[in-house]
Amino acid sequence: MATISAALAISFLPYPTRLATAASSSSRTQRAARFRCCAEPPSPEQEALAPPTSPPGKPSLASPSSLLGISTSTWSAGVAGLGFLETGYLTYLKLTGSEAFCPIGGGSCGDVLESDYSVVFGIPLPIVGLVAYGFVTALSLQEDGKNLLPGLDDLDIRLTLLLIATSMATASAYFLYILSTKFVGISCSYCLLSAFLSFTLLFIRVKDFGFERIQKFAGLQLAVAAIIALALTNSYSSATTQLKGTDDFVLEPYETEITTESSPFAISLARHLHSIGAKMYGAFWCSHCNEQKQMFGREATKILDYVECFPNGAGKGKKMTPECAAAGLEGFPTWFINGKVLSGDQELEVLSEVSGFVTEEGTKQP
């Protein structure tokens, strides 16, 4: 979700171009000053963007900065690349209508990814994020020496990346606020990952300029942050009323009827899984858990050691049971069989093979 900010920051792209032009003009003026006595002094913006000189014997600040021996442009490209992969996956889910696999921290991240807050100005956030992270990746590679975007100089790229990183971090903070106030008791691992990547990108860009020189752009960064926050607030002004009671969202527990009959094989397998202490962790609202139970059928499901992780409901004030939390579940359903962990609903033949199930005839299944 946090990656929407990059698109909103595009309106600021002319600024670095004008500043770069001013810096170029200043350079010509300074060269002319060798022959004239009254060259005009550079503006504060030009001084901040121009490569500073360094005392003899010390490395120049004009050289690329680095973190742990790796250039900031390489770090920036790597972090943005991870964001590109994440948003690419979410875009695929959005376009195909597939359900996301959600690491669990209390509730389903699908509630967040499918809510009105997953769209800004009518555009799905995953698509905006895909474009944003891709743009940051391309700019970072360009800064690292790859000629992907001809016509841009180093000063254009550095200031543009700083403004985009500022807007992305601002949007991340905004979305984290939404997540904590509108989706109480529900976690969105993809939102948290995007926020982490956005804040990391901002740190990298600040490190690139240096903490002393970055102060010259504090006013511009604050202006960008204010515009991003106002734009998101305006976009979500109607979404708040469209959500149905998420401020007091509570999903009461319910039982899903198992409509299928159990086959002899399913009953035997369920007894075997029970005898070896195999457990199936699930949630009452999980459609995949229901599908797994339907595979076993009514009789066999009663034999299974099934652990309901939200017996008191989900939503505001509702938490996962300590047993499920301690198990470190990454999704529902999750099987624990003979020290092995299987995520998602499984075919009976797979459960039979993993558990070492042997039929009465003395052969393994299938």
CATH code for the domain in which residue 208 is found: 1.20.1440.130
Residues 106 and 215 in one domain: yes
Between CA 360 and CA 341 the distance in angstroms is 26
Residues 237 and 268 in one domain: no
CATH code for the domain in which residue 327 is found: 3.40.30.10
Residues 298 and 217 in one domain: no
Residues 97 and 168 in one domain: yes
Residue 223 lies in a domain: yes
Residue 236 lies in a domain: yes
The yes-or-no verdict on residue 305 having pLDDT over 80 is: yes
Residues 17 and 151 in one domain: yes
Nearest C-alpha neighbor of 187 from the set 80, 111, 271, 249: 111
Residue where one domain finishes, among candidates 186, 212, 242: 242
Give the pLDDT score at 152.
Answer: 67
From residue 6, how far is each of 10, 90, 123, 214, 248 by CA, in Å? 7, 17, 13, 20, 32
Residues 6+ apart with CB under 8 A from 65: 71, 72, 207, 208, 210
Residue 248 lies in a domain: no
Residues 225 and 96 in one domain: yes
To 5 degrees, how large is the angle CA 179–CA 232–CA 107? 15
Residues 209 and 287 in one domain: no
Q: Count the domains in the chain.
A: 2
Provide the residue range defining the domain that includes 103: 4-25+65-242
Token couple for 71: 């250039």
Residues 213 and 308 in one domain: no
Give the pLDDT score at 243.
Answer: 37
Residues 227 and 90 in one domain: yes
Residue 37 lies in a domain: no
Mean predicted lDDT score pLDDT of the chain: 75
pLDDT in tens, 15-26: 333 333 334 444
Token couple for 314: 């989900």
- DSSP reduced 3-state for 12: helix
Indicate left, alpha or beta for 339 from its phi (over 0: left) and psi (-120 to 50: alpha): left
The DSSP secondary structure of 74-143, one letter per residue, reads HHHHHHHHHHHHHHHHHHHHHHHTPPPP---SSS-THHHHTSGGGEETTEEHHHHHHHHHHHHHHHHHHH
Mean pLDDT for 274-289 is 92
Nearest C-alpha neighbor of 92 from the set 121, 119, 130: 130
Residues 190 and 271 in one domain: no
Residues 305 and 167 in one domain: no
Q: For residue 40, how many other CB atoms are within 10 A of its CB?
A: 10
- Tell me the pTM: 0.48
pLDDT in tens, 11-60: 434 333 333 333 444 443 443 333 333 334 455 545 554 444 444 433 33
Q: Is 168 exposed, middle or buried (0-12, 13-18, 19+ CB in 10 A)?
A: buried
Output the CA torsion 305→309→314→316 (10° steps). 160
Which of 111 and 336 is assigned the larger pLDDT? 336
Strands 306-308 and 279-282: parallel
Give the pLDDT score at 109.
Answer: 67
Which of 146 and 257 is assigned the larger pLDDT? 257
Give the pLDDT score at 184.
Answer: 60
pLDDT in tens, 311-351: 988 776 677 888 888 888 877 899 999 999 998 889 999 99
Residues 6+ apart with CB under 8 A from 202: 165, 166, 168, 169
The pairs formed by 149-154 with CB atoms below 8 angstroms and a separation of 24 or more are 153/20
pLDDT in tens, 136-155: 898 888 887 766 666 666 77
**Among residues of the chain, what percentage have pLDDT more than 90?**
24
Residue 360 lies in a domain: no
Residues 88 and 222 in one domain: yes
Residue where one domain finishes, among candidates 207, 242, 277: 242
Residue 247 lies in a domain: no
Residue 250 lies in a domain: no
Residue 321 lies in a domain: yes
